[in-house]
Homo-oligomer: A and B are copies of this chain.
């Protein structure tokens, strides 16, 4: 029988992970993530996968399997479940607790099953075994996906080989070696950091560098990292206690993650280490550690508001040290730089991962990737989750590790790999793309909708109201011309009017509506004079 894996996102890009494994009658979707909008995507809050391929497999029994609770793996689940509310969601409890908070906002109560570490379960002719792996958030799974005891995929999206995490369990080398022995036909694995030499290194590595900052600083410490990285937070709680500093926690996403991690015993601290913003004012600067959201300079985040003296009554002063325990996600450079500049302007100091090793990635580097291949010994390697250059670099890594050249597969979103008798027999194209979500307007745009928005900003709108009505002799006073987004001076407005009145002298008026005539000629008018393409609105009254 034929089995297949397809991608609707994440293969050929960073973010928006969504993969679909199929047999004849069953399908398992692994992850359903978002990509964050670029600053030049106007009014767009999120980018989600185009789900239309799912229509073509509606007849199959579909399970949604979630690897971990990062937005690029769960962010689009609410949109999927709105469209396919009967889909059963399988995830770890920790992941579900984080995911459900978002789903509730959309009044979605998913049909769910929970995963247990290293315990396989069946979905039709699928047998799925979740392996807990190390990453930068708790409850991250890699999946062995076995179909009909005939073909075995191993899907490990985000991971690194961390042998000494702070609160998580170490990377399960022994379990994966057994999985390797039991046989893996095709490995799909994370490529985002695969071009980085060496090993990524353990979360434990950053402790001493953050500690150095704590020891050096005599003023207040403001700490920010990715809200979901509760291991990093555990480190800060421990250092605060050791250095006799109280902690203020601010930022809703941070509080959400802290609650969940605590509930699952993955973050532990004594309640009396916490103080409120009010109490904070009465304390000595060197007794305080403020933990908040904003490592990416997000406009709405606590740190960014503080940098603009716009957060309660907190004023930055000489001696304040801001620790950005994070990396810059490409695209956020400008925002982060301006936050940092504002902090310096008011006398604060900033320490980033450029200055000190105070951040370590959760993604596999080159040697993590090598080790994983040696452990699982797959026949096929299919790099996922990365830009094209990362996928290609991962392919050559696979070949270095002994994967056959023809078995190291270049695979992009919008493609489907079909296997039969343990061999890849075909690579097909499937419908795929990006959809752009404007949450306020409740609109989901395709690429053309997005282009129209940009066009509106760059080219503006030219409006013509024609009150001639039924009469097909248009008089000057029938026409009102208005421009939005650019100013059209009087001379040009008159010129344009003349052009439009040209309609009267048209031979075949009966075959050409004024609207069509106007649109064509306005287009010409602006192309010729300004090489611009304003949006044209003709209103006949």
Contacts and interface: CB of A to CB of B under 8 A. Distances in A.
A216 to B, nearest CB: 16
A457 B43 contact: yes
A128 to B, nearest CB: 32
Contacts of A334: 38, 330-331
Interface of A: 12, 38-40, 42-43, 330-331, 333-334, 337, 340-342, 344-345, 350, 387-389, 392, 438, 440-443, 452-454, 456-461, 463, 465, 467, 480, 482, 484-487, 530-532, 535, 537, 539, 541
A340 B344 CA distance: 35
Given A39-B39, A461-B461, A461-B484, 13 more contacts: A39-B40, A40-B40, A330-B333, A330-B337, A340-B389, A344-B389, A453-B485, A456-B456, A456-B485, A465-B539, A482-B537, A484-B535, A485-B535
Contacts of A330: 333-334, 337
Contacts of A441: 486, 530, 532
Contacts of A452: 485
A487 B387 CA distance: 34
A482 B539 contact: yes
Contact of A456 (B389, B440, B460, B539): B460
Contacts of A456: 456-457, 460-461, 484-485
Contacts of A389: 337, 340-341, 344, 350
Contacts of A342: 388
B392 A532 contact: no
A58 to B, nearest CB: 27
A386 to B, nearest CB: 10
Nearest to A14: B337
A23 to B, nearest CB: 31
A437 to B, nearest CB: 13
Nearest to A331: B334
Contact of A440 (B457, B482, B530): B530
A485 to B, nearest CB: 5
Contact of A453 (B331, B337, B341, B458): B458
A440 B42 contact: no
Contacts of A38: 39-40, 334
26 contacts: A40-B40, A40-B42, A42-B42, A42-B458, A330-B333, A330-B334, A333-B333, A337-B389, A340-B389, A341-B387, A341-B388, A344-B389, A350-B389, A440-B530, A441-B532, A442-B530, A443-B486, A443-B487, A453-B457, A453-B458, A456-B461, A463-B463, A465-B541, A467-B541, A482-B539, A541-B541
Nearest to A452: B485
